[in-house]
Amino acid sequence: MSSSSLKTKAKSNIRVGILGCGAIGSRIAKSIKDDGRAVLTGLFDINPAKSENLQKHLPQKNIVKKSYDELLHASDLVVEAVNAPDTRELVRRALLARKDVLIMSVGKFIEGESIFALAQKQGVRVLIPSGAIAGVDALKAVSQQRIDRITLTTRKPIYGFADNAFVQQKRINLSQITKETILFEGNVREAVKCFPQNINVAATIALASGARDKLRIRIATSPEFKVNSHEIEAAGDFGRLVTKTENVVCPDNPKTSYLAVLSAVRTLKEYFQGVKIGT
């Protein structure tokens, strides 16, 4: 279901297809080296210009696909990096085609039981990187005990919320914010719905802990914030857990932490090598 279920692939040169050639998909594509373990064999984006432009910056040639079906045919593993209304269906199609999938749009899978069950039925794997937070390994471990509560406080620079529909609906004037301001406080389902491009980490916490109904989310911004930070506090029979990460933003996408991309790259490296470190 997750990266914890990795097993060594028997064959070399695992074929990797990139679904979504924006900032995140592009950086992951550039990280894949043809080293006898993996080879980049496909790019697909609903906007052909994006995949064509990405290929110009890659050593691999003639890997742009005209359709998603072509991408699936050319891949053993699909990297999902689209965060679109039909993301779940795209992942489902990959699993039905017996492809392993690395999911970046984790917020789309807060209710992911059916997708994970399908992966198990098909004998394939769903990989979910830790993303922009620390402590996922510990949350997975303590999920075996009772968790009483979890809180996630996310703080991001003001420009990271530009064009956010929830902010606009609430008529929050970002230009008038002069100090730390709470934009949202509520449960994880509401958070990923209102901030689909900002709060994938909330879904990751919910899935790792198995305690989504005890998870509360706070999202704040301020002119003083220069980095994306995520602070987790959890308590239960296991004791108390507190982690905090302060991440520089992805150079190509201010709504994403660079650590999220690095986490995905590392997850793929362990998948290719068949060696997993950590819970």
The single residue of 156, 230, 261, 262 carrying the catalytic annotation is 230
Token pair 């509360």 is found at 216
How far is 160 from 197, CA to CA, in rounded Å?
9
* Number of C-beta neighbours around residue 237 at 10 A: 10
Alpha-helix runs per DSSP H in the chain: 23-31, 48-55, 68-73, 87-96, 113-122, 136-142, 165-169, 188-194, 200-209, 258-273
Q: Which residues contact 190 (CB under 8 A, 6 or more apart)?
A: 184, 217
73 tagged catalytic? no
With the CA atoms of 232, 235, 237 and 240 taken in that order, what torsion angle do they form, in degrees rounded to the nearest 10? 70
Dmax of the chain from CA atoms?
57
* Number of C-beta neighbours around residue 46 at 10 A: 13
> Which residues does the annotation mark as catalytic?
230
